[in-house]
Amino acid sequence: MKSPEHVRRVISALRKEGPDKLQVVSDFDMTLSRFGFNGRRCPTSHNILDNSQVISEEGRKKLKDLLHYYYPIEIDPNRTMEEKRPLMVEWWTRAHGLLLQQKILKRDIAKIVEESEVMLRDGVNTFFDQLHQHNIPLFIFSAGVGDILEEVLRQAKVFHPNVNVMSNYMDFDDKGVLRQFKEPLIHTYNKNGSVLEKTDHFQQLSSRTNIILLGDSMGDLSMADGVANVENILTIGFLNDKVDEQRGKYRDAYDVVLEKDETLDVVNGILCYIL
Ligand code: C5P
Ligand code: MG
């Protein structure tokens, strides 16, 4: 923490004002899902599709090449978000273009997720269950693939009615074949008011002026920009990769930074204290 005093003050305010004033805004990939397990990377919602058997070998190779080219750019601490934005649009557009060539069927999504190596962070059930029990809205704002991440939550039995998702959704034709991705395209660095126009989620929650925000990317910090009249916000950042290079930026930007922590224990501890 850059300022433990600030964190203490915000947590006290969240506790004092209680669950009726609180909402949680979270990223999905590498925030609610695990970054790694036993020294191996876990898949993002895109990777779940990219690595699946429904993709041809050539398609899988091309998608992996894109990941190896663009991911280092995504997390490069020496480039600004303005520099990264057009390159992220390029990555997502090219990856979605490759996926469209693959005849992905809606009815195969559950199996694709079942057979993947996706893992949610330790403590994820406690996290979702606490929020559900206290009727606290959870808004998952993801640049991943909505249909896939919703299925991950469903299979983990945590997709409770208090959970809303904003993400990139697939559009299937009447035979259930993927034909395009729906607009607007959400990538790592446009998770802000510019894509939130499509939802009135935050307007409906205007009395909930206290926020806990969870993310793993610098782009996740603007996810709650659509909330009018924020009174207290606690931002918690998972620093998963290139920890030494990125530590300074993360500490300046997030109230709490969790380095290589594959659990939701800190978040659950805070929720347990304030609820
Ligand atoms: O849920 P979240 O917003 O974190 O999802 C985006 C993540 O998915 C990015 O951090 C990026 O590294 C990853 N990604 C991917 N394959 C793509 C595009 C993005 O794995 N084609
Ligand atoms: Mg993420």
Which ligand has the minimum distance to the alpha carbon of residue 50?
A: 1
* Residues 215 and 19: beta-carbon distance below 8 Å: no
- From the CB of 71, is ligand 1 less than 6 Å away? yes
- From the CB of 116, is ligand 1 less than 6 Å away? no
* Residues 91 and 28: beta-carbon distance below 8 Å: no
* Residues 162 and 137: beta-carbon distance below 8 Å: yes
- From the CB of 47, is ligand 1 less than 6 Å away? yes
Please classify residue 82 by burial: count the beta carbons closer than 10 Å to its beta carbon, then call 0-12 exposed, 13-18 middle and 19+ buried.
exposed
Residue 182: its pLDDT value, please?
97
Given the CA of residue 67, which atom of ligand 1 is nearest to it? Answer: 16
Atom 12 of ligand 1: nearest residue by CA position: 71
Q: Is position 27 annotated as part of the catalytic site?
A: yes
- From the CB of 143, is ligand 1 less than 6 Å away? yes
Give 84-129 pLDDT, tens digit per residue: 999 999 999 999 999 999 989 999 999 999 999 999 999 999 999 9
- From the CB of 30, is ligand 1 less than 6 Å away? yes
Q: Is 0.80 topped by the overall pTM?
A: yes
Q: Spell out the per-residue pLDDT of the chain, length 275, in tens.
A: 999 999 999 999 999 999 999 999 999 999 999 999 999 999 999 999 999 999 999 999 999 999 999 999 999 999 999 999 999 999 999 999 999 999 899 999 999 999 999 999 999 999 999 999 999 999 999 999 999 999 999 999 999 999 999 999 999 999 999 999 999 999 999 999 889 887 889 999 999 999 999 999 999 999 999 998 999 999 999 999 999 999 999 999 999 999 999 999 999 999 999 99
Atom 4 of ligand 1: nearest residue by CA position: 29
Of 27, 216, 220, 255, which residue is the catalytic one? 27
Q: Cite the DSSP H helix spans in 145-242.
A: 146-155, 193-196, 201-204
Of 29, 147, 216, 220, which residue is the catalytic one? 29
Q: Is position 225 annotated as part of the catalytic site?
A: no
Angle at 40 between CA 262 and CA 169, to 5 degrees: 75
- From the CB of 190, is ligand 1 less than 6 Å away? no
Residue 198: its pLDDT value, please?
76
CA distances from 186 to 28, 90, 169, 208 (A): 13, 12, 10, 25
Given the CA of residue 47, which atom of ligand 1 is nearest to it? Answer: 20
Identify the residue whose tokens are 């990538």: 187
